[in-house]
Structure 1
Amino acid sequence: MSPTHPLFLLLLLQTLVITTTTTTLALASSSSSSTPTPTPWPRQFHALLFMNYSGKLSMIDLWYDWPNGRNFNIIQEQLGGPPLRDLEWNNGTSFFYTLSPPLRCRSAQLDVGILRPDWLAGADYLGTRSVDGFLCNVWTKADGFITYFEDVLTNRPVHWVFYTGRQAHVMTFEVGKYLEDAEWQAPVYCFDKGEDEEEEEEEEERVEQPQSIASDVFDQNLMHKRSLRGLVGS
């Protein structure tokens, strides 16, 4: 049969169609069977988190700024006092303070900096689950320290749960949004305290402890932060 014969051309066309279809199906099957990996965090984003810890509710205004090595959590407890500001730097320095009276500031130095954008690398895939009305891919890391839920369609974080039961529900997630540099400066009273001021502050703490940053609140947040930042090296 001549290569230019119509029947030969028809058979050739059918062979090409079958080969292309088979290849496409094989690639699709390979893609669908591969294990999903967590999407790295954007290098800069703003998120509003609704937190639930054994019925204790709060909102966290989260600003993540990897290029500048900083992370900011502005925490509002339900029907609580002024927001608590948790300012973290990549050199391990953290400040925990208020901007409304009574003015308080505590600081800490940790061994590691803020979470990397790829801090979920190496997490174990658990499959898909529905949470908060979204179908999510789910991973866990560090022997169940955290379970992380990511929307299948948009790859945005939806929810995460710590081993303690503390839950974060992502209400908004704005990629590329950043906080102006002036907002990242810890107040002067975190650095400039004379002896007289320290004595006066100690006296105020004895009187105004219910309104101040109580030690147990600070210690709980510091312990949680140490554990979370342990994921940096895992």
Structure 2
Amino acid sequence: MRRVSAISWSLSVFLLSFFFHLLPLSIWSEPAEPTPAEWPPKFNALLFENSSGKLHVIDFWYDWSRGGSLRITQNQLAKLTYERSWDNGTSYLYPSEIHSPCWLMHIPPGILRPNWMEGAIYHGQQYVDGFLCNVWEKVGVVWYYEDAVTKTPVHWSWIPFPGEQSVHVITFNVGAVLEDVDKWEVPDYCFNNNNKLENDEEMKASAF
């Protein structure tokens, strides 16, 4: 009787060991940390931005296939401005009024790549703007918050010197196309008489 029990026990152990051996290793290992979703190659987002206390509402158009982006910014109780940027680091900033001053800026490496958050450090989950988000930090400067379910960007903040730029995503429309294609074009007068932006004080003096 004891011999039968011993055989049964050995057989049970063998079957359990065999069963566990067949299970995928991932069941026993720690789940992989989430990574930020790449930005779609084309989208439109309505953004609310707080830049060191200055408030802006931004109609942001991103088109990686075109190699550029367009920010149409309504500054609080101030002018509407346009910023047309390319992937070569060139940007033109100009107000909506015709023949107003234009600023030419060189900001390498250019517009954000779709995978610009690649290599970011994961910091767990946090509720932001009422959404449960995965949180990443990159190079100690960018904090990025993405909806844990939909993978849609919810919020990001930059901590450049000397202030902070905080962006909240109001709408995010993948594949959206700017119907007024002329808005992608920088006004001709910007190429005839433009100024290179040197510092923030010159920006303030321009009343942008």
Which residue among 107, 110, 118 is the counterpart of 1:113? 110
Shift of 1:44: 0.4
Alignment partner, residue 98 of structure 1: 95
TM-score (norm 1): 0.69
Q: SS state of the match for residue 182, structure 2?
A: helix
Separation of aligned partners in 1, 2:28 and 2:83: 46
Output the aligned Cα RMSD. 2.7
Q: Structure 1, residues 2-57: CA drift from partner, whole Å, max 9, x if none?
A: xxxxxxxxxxxxx8xxx59x947x64565x72111010000000001111134321
State the partner residue of 2:184: 184
| Counterparts of residues 147-226 of structure 1 (less than 5 Å) | 147-163=143-159, 164-180=163-179, 181-193=181-193, 215-217=202-204
Amino acid across the alignment from 2:157: V
Q: Equivalent residue for 1:57?
A: 55
Structure 2 counterpart of 1:72, one-letter code: L
Per-residue deviation at 1:73? 0.9
Deviation digits for residues 145-189 of structure 1, max 9, x if unmatched?
110000001000000111133210000000011224322100111
Cα-to-partner distance string for 1:109-142 (whole Å, 9 max, x where unaligned): 3332211100100000010000100000000001
Structure with the higher strand share, 1 or 2: 2
Q: Output the CA distance in 1 between the equivalents of 2:156 and 2:109.
A: 22
**1:21-100 equivalent positions in 2, closer than 5 A:** 23=23, 27=26, 30=29, 33-81=31-79, 83-100=80-97
Aligned-residue identity in percent = 42
In the alignment, the residues of structure 1 paired with residue 164 and residue 27 of structure 2 have an alpha-carbon distance, to the nearest angstrom, of 38
State which of 116, 126, 129 in structure 2 corresponds to 1:129: 126
Q: Is the contact between residue 99 and residue 189 of structure 2 (CA under 8 Å) also seen in structure 1?
A: no
Q: Which has the higher helix share?
A: 1
For the residues of structure 1 that align with 2:192 and 2:99, how far apart are their CA atoms? 17
Amino acid at match of 2:32: S
Cα distance between partner residues in 2 of 1:95 and 1:79: 22
Mark the runs of 5 or more structure 2 residues left unpaired by the alignment. 1-14, 195-200
Instruction: Check 1:177–1:73 CA distance in 2 against 1; reply closer, same or farther (3 A cut).
Output: same
Instruction: Give the AA of the match of 1:188.
Output: D
Query: Which of 42-51 and 162-171 deviates more?
Result: 162-171
Q: Could you tell me how far apart the structure 1 residues matched to 2:205 and 2:36 are?
A: 31
What is the letter of the counterpart of residue 160 of structure 1? W
User: Number of matched residues?
Assistant: 181
